[in-house]
Structure 1
């Protein structure tokens, strides 16, 4: 797995673990949502400043985005689609 795919895998794992959508993560990190998607798919040469912003929003360190991926690990599951139900 190349480093872009490793970063993307870890970003998705951390994002889903926090329950953040790509849109919410991008908004809080002040970057474009489509950029987050391209990073997660391993298509983007992500900048250091973007890594710092994403890690800060996820309450992680930048080094967490570089963790090696177990070859037997399954892809992090997607979040449930749609809006959250309104609470009374």
Structure 2
């Protein structure tokens, strides 16, 4: 894993800390940030691939069909996230972060 320095508004950091303390949703700020990046990458990939290609489980099919298609959807999303993460790893940031 690579380390990056991010400039984040202190108000946002306090909000993250409050969510961690009050709800125990994440174990650390880093976990929160990683999860947020993953979620955003999934959104971006969905918009790039087209919604129809990823909504296989939402066509109103029976439970059996939905289960299989949901797994396929998860696999597609997982592959999309992996590809996006690889692209980020390959991207060289210039200047101060």
What TM-score do the two structures reach when normalised by structure 1?
0.33
Q: Bigger radius of gyration, 1 or 2? A: 2
What TM-score do the two structures reach when normalised by structure 2?
0.31
Q: Which has the higher contact order (CA 8 A, sep 6+)?
A: 1
Bigger proportion of residues as helix: 2
